Amino acid sequence: MELKKDSNAVSIDMLLIVHSEKRRAAQGAHSDRPADPGAPPQRRGGFQGVGNGIRRWQKLEGNDLHGNLVEKQHAQQTQVITSYDNQGTQLTVEVHPRDAMPQLFKKFSLAKRLQVDKNGNTRPRQPGGKDTHAYPWDRSSLKSMPLDLRQFEKLDTYASQVTVKSGLEELVSDLLQEAHSDLEIVRAIWIWICHHIEYDIEAAQEKDRQAFKPTAILQTQKTNCDGYAGLFERMCRIAGVQCMTVPGYSKGLGYQPGQSFSGEFDHAWNAVFLEGRWHLVDSTWGSGLVDSSTSKFTFLYNEFYFLTHPALFIEDHFPDNKNWQLLKPPQSLRQFENNMYHKSEFYNKGMLSAQPQTSIIKTVNGKATVTIESCAPTQFMFMLNGKQEHGLLSLRKNGMKLDVYPPTAGDHKLQIFAKGNSEIYSSVLEYTLKCHYADMDVQLPAELHQPVGPSWFSEQMGITKPSHTEPVIYTSDGRCSVSFGVEEGISVLASLHGDDGPVTEETQRRYIFQLHREKRTELKVQLPHAGKFALKIFVKKRQEPGNYLFVFNYLICCTNTKVNWPVFPESFGNWGVDNELLEPLSGVLPANRNVPFKLKLHGIAKALVKGQDTWPLTLSAEGYWEGSCSTAGCREVYVMVLENANHSFYSYILKYQVNAQ
């Protein structure tokens, strides 16, 4: 047959079986055994094309083409002959005994997949213009080719469960049982390595070259990045897929934002040739992570580093040869050093961009601001120097905004975490803040947790249409009122927190008085003094057991040094959620005074106020229980109700303190 040698690739499924006439006569004539399409490839030797087209036999003794130990060829062994012409056309012929099962029944490409150097040796094609992707990232996909990961579910499960029985070739053969295309072959190899090979920290530190050899890796199932990349390349080549190991610099374990790179390369990864283009993978980082504090490796599969879009891969991988960036235009080492490093979880959890785009931020008037855009509502948190302090983080429908106020001048480490669809917060960004001036007037309460202000999350938790949509509330007289809708069946709890003054754990709820009107809850707040306070809001489903869950908080600010509000009256369990207190709102009453009372109480028969004596309250035409009480001769005053007219037992609902004379 005549093979075309133009620019169009030709691909033929073919198995050419050659029998010796002498052997045929000795064995007698009988029908040929059909080929087994599932048989694994066994490559032991072959012809190698030379530039002038002359073919020569190459018997492999000691090591095969892939570095594996083999025995000398015998008459009964399968022989594989592979030939290449000057244009890179590949023809593979298998010669085996008639009674042996064909070993190489798979697709052999006659396309120009391999190049031939001047000595006739084959080598993968170098990356060119058609391999490149535009920079910066166009947000179209995290992958360098269209993928539906659901198509790999069966293959991934199979590949992750394959075990090593003997050598590397048999392992590859087992993996190929469920792989029917080059893409699936690469996927099966990737999954197996990511789920079976552990990062060897000691070998990496000692630069133990023995740990990089495939035979040693299969025995110990440990290696470092060179070993991962070398094993991935070897397995791909055994399976007939072009693959290259790419050395370079990386922003991996021990990386510090803004650091420069020079000298010896610290990492290695792979490029694979699929569907006419080169693509990038990093099985080291796909397999798991190393805890920097314990130096222990944990298997934690990371899909991000399989066929990663080159415009994203460049964020933490800088190859020795700029062509392996697969980018147009390629990035310089200086750009790589200065560009913001978005960790893989940044993209895994649906984030799109972050501002600023540099890893080192200089504060302005003691403040630094970070914003993140995400493709879906996402929960965030931050840590400054390892603590959740000195910042205001507010959630947005598609992202977040964070204002940070470093407490001192100098360098500070800022980490940002995102939750995504899981219950675990993962680190997505890391900045170094350079603060030349610390604004001492901006000291936020230590109990100010994240997020600050209402958001999509508080609405999801049953709090809707807040009166204050911004995270910070300013008050000139030390008082404010916050209201919001509450979904049916939701209970709300609030507490006030400051760093100094009379707000203690016992009284932090006494500076808030909660009212409920027509499916809206109102929180009346009185501050004990000037300063900054965290108004924390919790919710709980009434019918479900368990504790209240924190939803969000407001930051309340007051600069009026004359502010000195007392606590509200203490309420008890029988204080109904729909009750309303109009007066007195102060929980501390003056001594020797007649104090008016006005309340709206639901579902009661009688109400009274008890001090040294008892004063009944009467129900007005407007629906309020009203009356007055003398504080003479008493230290405490109670409001009590009778819920059933047929009973004589009164319940306490409010308690007031009386000032000393």
Instruction: Please list, residue by residue across 451-490, b when 16 or more beta carbons sit within 10 angstroms of its beta carbon and e when fewer do.
Output: bbbbbeebbebbbeebebeebebebeebebebbbbbeeee
Bridge partners (DSSP) of residue 606 are: 642
Contact 567, 504 (CB under 8 A): no
Q: Specify whether the CB–CB gap between 51 and 118 falls below 8 A.
A: yes
CA distance 613 to 594: 12
- Give the burial string for 100-127 (b: 16+ CB within 10 Å, else e): eebbbbbebbbebbbebeeebebebeeb
Query: For residues 404 and 382, what is the distance between their CA atoms, to the nearest angstrom?
Result: 10
Residue 499, CA atoms < 13 Å, CB-side half-sphere: 13
- The answer to whether residues 519 and 474 touch, using CB atoms and an 8 Å cutoff, is no
DSSP 423-459: SS-EEEEEEEEEES---TT----TT--S-BS--HHHH
> What is the rounded CA–CA span in Å between residue 484 and residue 467?
6
- The CA distance from 561 to 559, in Å, is 6
> Of the listed 174, 196, 225, 529, which one is catalytic?
225
Peptide bond into 454 cis (omega under 30): no
User: Residue 305 carries which DSSP code?
Assistant: G
Region label for 444, one of left (φ > 0), alpha (ψ between -120 and 50) or beta (otherwise): beta
346 residue type, one letter = F
Query: CA 145, CA 164: separation in Å to the nearest integer?
Result: 31
Per-residue buried b or exposed e for 637-658, using 16+ beta carbons within 10 Å of the residue's own CB: bbbbbbeeeeeeebebbbebbb
Asked if 282 is an active-site residue, the reply is yes
Cβ–Cβ under 8 Å, residues 17 and 94? yes
- The answer to whether the peptide bond before residue 329 is cis (omega within 30 degrees of 0) is yes
Q: How many CB atoms lie within 10 A of CB 636?
A: 14
Token pair of 272, please? 């694979």
Pair of tokens at residue 112 = 């120009």
List Cα–Cα distances, 503 to 445, 481, 508, in angstroms.
12, 19, 6
Instruction: State both tokens at 41.
Output: 């490839």
**Bond from prior residue into 528 cis (ω within 30 degrees of 0):** no
Cβ contact 592:632 at 8 Å: yes
- For residues 177 and 38, the answer to whether their CB atoms sit within 8 Å is yes
CB 136 within 8 A of CB 119: no
Q: Can you name the residues that pair with 11 across neighbouring β-strands? A: 109
Cβ neighbors of 133 (< 8 A, separation 6 or more) are: 144, 309, 310, 311, 326, 327, 328
Q: Which of 267, 309, 342, 497 is catalytic?
A: 267
Using DSSP, state whether 506 is helix, strand or coil.
coil
CB 569 within 8 A of CB 598: no
Largest interatomic CA distance in the chain: 128
Rounded Cα–Cα distance for residues 382 and 660 (Å): 47
Phi, psi of 396 (to 5 degrees): -120, 165
Annotated catalytic residue: which of 131, 282, 316, 403? 282
Q: Which residues are catalytic?
A: 225, 267, 282
